[in-house]
Chain A
Amino acid sequence: MNGDQMMRAHSATLPAPEFANPAWVTPVELAKATVAIVTSAALHASDDEGFTAGDTGYRLIDSSRRDLVLGHWSPNFDHTGVQMDLNVVYPIDRLEELAQRGVIGAVARRHVSFAGNQPDDVATIRLDTGPAAAAALRQDGVDIVILTPV
């Protein structure tokens, strides 16, 4: 069993929170939508505050930045893909291309990065930092987010 297989098998056994009456948003037309990326890769701008171990906070990433650092504390996933090509985790250039082609309306001016190392109850991101990050994107007029894990 390789490392990915072991991590997938382990992760499948972890407790998962339940969401009663989950929300469902009817999206605006994609060609008119402002799209943002939300990642759990703990990416952050090189001059921004790094992530601590067990960090439940988030960092906002300006859409123009490409000098991003991978600040995740897990040794259990590949870190070289993003070193070769940021877009394999954070598809910012792909979104810019889709906006130029008119497939999406616009790329958001800011994106969000969390670290995927959360306590099991994930209470902080459910009740505190998650809603705060969503509010920041709503303030920027974001209609759709694509979430990329590591």
Chain B
Amino acid sequence: MSVLAHVFEAAGIATIVLSSIREMAVKVAPPRALHCEFPLGRPLGRPLDPEFQHDVLARAFALLNETSGPVLVDHPEVIEADDQPVSCNLPPRFDPSLPPSVDEARGLRKAYDRALAKRGVTSVGRVMSADEVPNALGMLHAIANGQDWTTAGLPGGNTIAVCHDIRTYYEEAALELVDGPLPGGRAMEDWFFDRTEAGATVLAARAAIRDSGGKFPIWFYMTPGQR
């Protein structure tokens, strides 16, 4: 973002960056930056909080009054990423003949469909539709149990995209099922990887690909780096 700020400014457009990595804003020194120590992925800080979002924008636009730069100002509020899993009911086991994650994904379909109907759009679809999510989890289950990932038939042959679609399917469904306050920055990630059968399956498949000599990018980016 800070690089793009320089590019746009050179084209004659005044810029303000909502910085998320303070050290990078210091190094690249865009003309005007408001550093926002908010959860990554939430540069305006709080979903569904127009008042807070307006406060961020007002502080950002105030930087336009400076007569020279670079200008780097910190937003006074820090919002920590919540790393407690959200409270979210999971479907009961329905078909014991299926791998647990496949059964679970099927059970979440109605919640996913409600989310899609409400939002009118889904971010599932890099390499597969929601219909294919249970089957893809079956493939990851097989990989975790010894099948060569290159012959497992993963949609698009792309481990990263498959995991994105699975996690997105779960997160969109879960937003319909969350009990309690809105999930914080890492709360849904923690729910997916620490509470769901799908998260466990992804982690197990990732470890199996790594341990069988799969190239680093093939397995590493299947999950967040700290996992």
**Chain A interface residues (CB < 8 Å from chain B):** 1-8, 10-12, 14, 16-17, 19, 22-28, 30, 33, 38, 40-41, 46, 50, 53, 67-71, 73-85, 87-89, 91, 93-95, 97-98, 103-104, 114, 116, 118, 122, 125-126, 130-131, 133-135, 137-138, 142-150
From B5, B11, B47, B183, contact of A147 by CB (8 A) = B5
Contact B4 A114 (CB under 8 A): yes
Closest Cβ neighbor of B120 among chain A residues: A67
Pick the interface stretch among B17-25, B99-107, B130-138, B142-150. B17-25
Contact A27 B50 (CB under 8 A): no
Q: What residues of B have a CB within 8 angstroms of the CB of A7 in the complex? A: 40, 225
Least distance between A107 CB and chain B CB atoms (Å): 12
Interface residues on B, range: 35 or more
The CA of A107 and the CA of B72, in the complex, are separated in Å by 25
Indicate if B75 sits at the interface (CB-CB under 8 A).
no
Contact B9 A38 (CB under 8 A): no
Q: What residues of B have a CB within 8 angstroms of the CB of A38 in the complex? A: 1, 4, 8
Contact A138 B21 (CB under 8 A): no
Q: Which of B166-201 contact A (CB under 8 A)?
A: 167-168, 171-172, 175, 182-183, 185-186, 188-189
- Residue contacts A-B, CB under 8 angstroms, 20 given: A2-B226, A3-B83, A8-B22, A17-B28, A19-B6, A24-B69, A25-B15, A27-B64, A30-B61, A38-B4, A75-B167, A78-B188, A80-B175, A84-B182, A88-B44, A88-B47, A118-B3, A130-B8, A134-B11, A138-B12
Contact B1 A11 (CB under 8 A): no
Indicate if B68 sits at the interface (CB-CB under 8 A).
yes
Interface string of B21-57 (1 = CB under 8 A from A): 1111001111100000001111111111010011001
Contact B160 A73 (CB under 8 A): yes
Least distance between A110 CB and chain B CB atoms (Å): 13
